[in-house]
Amino acid sequence: MRPVRTALAGALLGTLVLTACGQTGTTTTSSAAPTSAAPTSAAPSAAAGFPVTIEAGNGSVTLAKKPERIISLSAAHTETLFAIGAGPQVVAVDDQSNYPAEAPKSDLSGFKPNVEAIVAKKPDLVVLSNDLDKIVAELGKLNVPVLLEPAPTKIDEAYDEIADLGAATGNKDKADQVVTGMKAEMDKLAAAAPKDKKLTYYHELDQTPYAATSSTFIGQIYSMFGLTNIADKAPGAAGGYPKLSAEFVAKSDPDLIFLADVKCCQQNKDTLAKRPGWKGLSAIKNDQVVLLDDDIASRWGPRVVDLAKAIGDAVNKAAAK
């Protein structure tokens, strides 16, 4: 996982006396936090598709009825929930979830999850991407259903997680439509990539600088466009997110530089030019430094397509020169 500021590494206790927070009609079974089933009763008006069992990062999670009070502690999953039509069911999202604008942002943290604060909102489903501070087990003790969907390492895993969220929230058809649309757009963008010009690139996660290799989720998106990643030959590349030296990047002289640290670290072509040995880099001289949206570049929801479009546009522009 990315060691710094990663959503593809995102991050997401207090003691609580259980009061009126049991989830009647909802059962969660988790390999990470086994729980006993809460009392259930057959509900004639139960939504179609329930009960449903999801194979998640925390094992098999069974939901007896459609959740109506969802909490998301993952910015990527927040985006997905709203894209698949589950927005009206979401009662709170974490403090990093800034998209879409209508998401009910709160002071809940995915980095430092607080059991008491989470349960106080009476969720019937908590969605997260990291099991920090053993939050899955802690919520499981209180019979709060949890769906752990970790940061994907492959594009297909991202599609699967969208489908999981669709099934878990009673929005399967819409989720399937979103995935189908994403796949079609990604295929279209890949097909439009130039085939006769081999370009190299460097994707900067932050200004230290950390990079991402082709083996990572983000690297696989770049590979769709036939690009060669300079980080693949860097020391520490086996871990997926090597920290590159300024000298390594200068020597590699990539054709394209993509910055995913624009908002967080105020990086741009001018700041890059001030780094030792970088002023003469081809990407800087040829105006092929691409400023990405930090959020889009670090999340794996439906806006992955927007990231691919930004990469495709840059590749086509560079190939035309």
C-beta of residue 136 within 8 angstroms of C-beta of residue 30? yes
A 10 A CB-CB count for 148 gives: 22
158 and 262 co-located in one domain = no
Strands (E), the chain: 52-56, 59-63, 70-72, 90-93, 125-128, 146-148, 200-206, 210-211, 228-229, 256-259, 289-291
d(CA 295, CA 276): 28
Per the rule left: phi > 0, alpha: psi between -120 and 50, beta: everything else, 283 is: alpha
Last residue of a domain, one of 162, 182, 202: 182
Reported confidence tier of residue 5, pLDDT bands at 50, 70, 90: very low
Return d(Cα 193, Cα 313) in angstroms, integer. Answer: 9
- Dihedral (CA of 120, 123, 128, 133) sign: positive
The confidence score (pLDDT) of residue 49 equals: 86
Q: Which residue has the tokens 């295929």?
A: 187
pLDDT band at residue 277 under the 50/70/90 scheme: very high
Q: Of 14-18, 211-215, 316-320, which range is least confident?
A: 14-18
**Residue 284 belongs to what H/E stretch?**
helix 282-285
Final residue in a domain of this structure, among 182, 210, 232: 182
Q: Does residue 256 share a domain with residue 284? A: yes
Contact criterion met (CB below 8 Å) for 81 and 169: yes
Sign of the torsion formed by the C-alpha atoms of 48, 139, 32 and 6: positive
User: Does pLDDT of 238 surpass 50?
Assistant: yes
Rounded to whole angstroms, the Cα distance separating 223 from 241 reads 16
Radius of gyration of the chain (CA): 21
Q: Specify if 310 maps to a domain.
A: yes
Q: Is residue 17 part of a domain?
A: no
What Å distances lie between residue 127 and 136, 195, 295, 308, CA to CA? 10, 40, 19, 26
- 280: domain CATH number? 3.40.50.1980
What is the model's pLDDT at position 21? 30
Q: How confident is the model at residue 299 (pLDDT cuts 50, 70, 90)?
A: very high
Same domain, yes or no, for 221 and 271? yes
Q: Tens digit of pLDDT for each residue in 165-209?
A: 999 999 999 999 999 999 999 999 999 999 888 999 999 999 999
CB–CB of 96/118 below 8 Å? no
* Per-residue pLDDT band at 47 (split at 50, 70, 90): low
Residue 195 confidence (pLDDT): 81
User: How would residue 222 be classed by pLDDT, with cut points 50, 70 and 90?
Assistant: very high
Residue 301 falls within a domain, yes or no?
yes
Mean pLDDT of 48-54: 92
Q: Are residues 152 and 249 in the same domain?
A: no
Q: Which of 170, 176, 182 is nearest to 307 (CA)?
A: 182
The per-residue pLDDT for 197 is: 83
Q: Is 85 exposed, middle or buried (0-12, 13-18, 19+ CB in 10 A)?
A: middle
Q: Are residues 118 and 94 in the same domain?
A: yes
Q: What pLDDT score was predicted for residue 214?
A: 97
Residue 28 has pLDDT above 50, yes or no: no
**Which residue from 237, 286, 217 is spatially nearest to 257, judged by alpha carbons?**
286
Query: What percent of the chain clears pLDDT 90, i.e. is strictly above it?
Result: 83
- If you average pLDDT over residues 88-108, what whole number do you get? 98
- Percent share of the chain, pLDDT over 70: 85
**Encoding tokens for residue 269?**
């072509």
User: Domain total for the chain?
Assistant: 2
pLDDT value of position 210:
96
Q: β-strand 200-206 against 210-211: which pairing, if any?
A: antiparallel
For residue 30, pLDDT beyond 70: no
Lowest mean pLDDT among 39-53, 90-104, 233-247, 302-316: 39-53
pLDDT exceeds cutoff 70 at 138: yes
State the pTM of this model. Answer: 0.85
**Structural domain that includes position 247:** 193-320
* 29 located within any domain: no
